[in-house]
Amino acid sequence: MVPISRRCLLFAGIAASRLRADTKAFSFPPEARRYPDPATEFEVVRLTDPTYTSILPAYYNRVFTRNGSHLFYASDRIGSLQIFRMELKTGAMRQITEVEELDPASITLTPDNRALCFSASRSIYVMNLASLHQRKLYDVTEGWDRCPGLTVGPDGTHATLAERQGDRSRLRMVSLVQGVARTVVEAPFTMSDAVSRPMRAQVLYRNGQEALWLVNLDGKQNRQLKLADGGVGPALWSPDGKTVLYLNFPEDTRQLNTLREFTPDTNTDKSIAKTSQFSHFGVNHDGSVFVGASRNVASPHLLLLLRVTKRELTICEHKASHVEMTAPRFSPDNTHVYFESDRHGKPAIYSIQVDKLVEKAEM
């Protein structure tokens, strides 16, 4: 046996540590596949390979850089779920994390596009996108569990999440600089999907499909919104923050799901349009056009809905086994719609160009 010197062992250890440190810098070539949609013949692009899982973050989180050049998502192509950054012009991908128990829904850009916030295991992290250096921001308090949802507010100063202990939960805000946390409000049910209101010091959160609640950042005026009767589907702030856009699911399943709008400042609720059984939706930059995913088994389509005319246009099939996974959304300039589906195997990310149907937004 050839003797191994201490120096060799030392260099081997250094090399191994560098290998581990560099794993999050792995890059992968484009793997886009184009095909004509069977329903419309519009060209659809499958951006990720369905032999492994790729997941879009929560529908209310920022996943595109402001100029629309990159998309952030989660994938298990290396064996465990990690965050990837895709260059949308070329389709090239780069792994940027190596963490345990990543929550793919939690991934979100900060408003200035300089950092990424996410949750892994029981911790919240923030990553500098220039250096890819990440630091632990916050650990969920012992005895509590994190509820679904993690967002960064419009001013980029705090992350907002909810924690659960038994039948009660609390809304927490964590400073992105010091990591200091404070409780905004508590509730006797499981909170989820807390989203800060643009241009207002308020947070919207939900109680399952039963209700939406709104609270000031100082914990005052905590109230349930007086929405239409029925189940509450996905909910988004309008781009200007003046209203809550949401899907209403009637108790009578024979009735059509309705896209509705609630104005918190006046406590008024009105219908925008009945839909082809939308179960998920996204909205463009000025709230004039919506993209919805239908749960209709015979017509599992993505459709554009124009607010003014209330008319729909089918753009492609989604054929997702669970329509909730689609989470359709517009690119920042409104030229593309992105969505998730497992129609070809495992969940993958797709896009379709809609610039001939939707007015392009200035960036």
State the sign of the Cα–Cα–Cα–Cα dihedral 347, 192, 258, 243.
negative
Res 16 pLDDT > 60? no
Model confidence band, residue 254 (pLDDT cutoffs 50, 70, 90): confident
Res 293 pLDDT > 70? yes
Res 13 pLDDT > 50? no
Res 332 pLDDT > 90? yes
pTM over the 0.75 mark: yes
User: What is the reported pLDDT for 3?
Assistant: 45
Model confidence band, residue 25 (pLDDT cutoffs 50, 70, 90): low
Model confidence band, residue 17 (pLDDT cutoffs 50, 70, 90): very low
User: What is the reported pLDDT for 2?
Assistant: 40
Q: What value does the mean pLDDT take over residues 194-221? A: 96
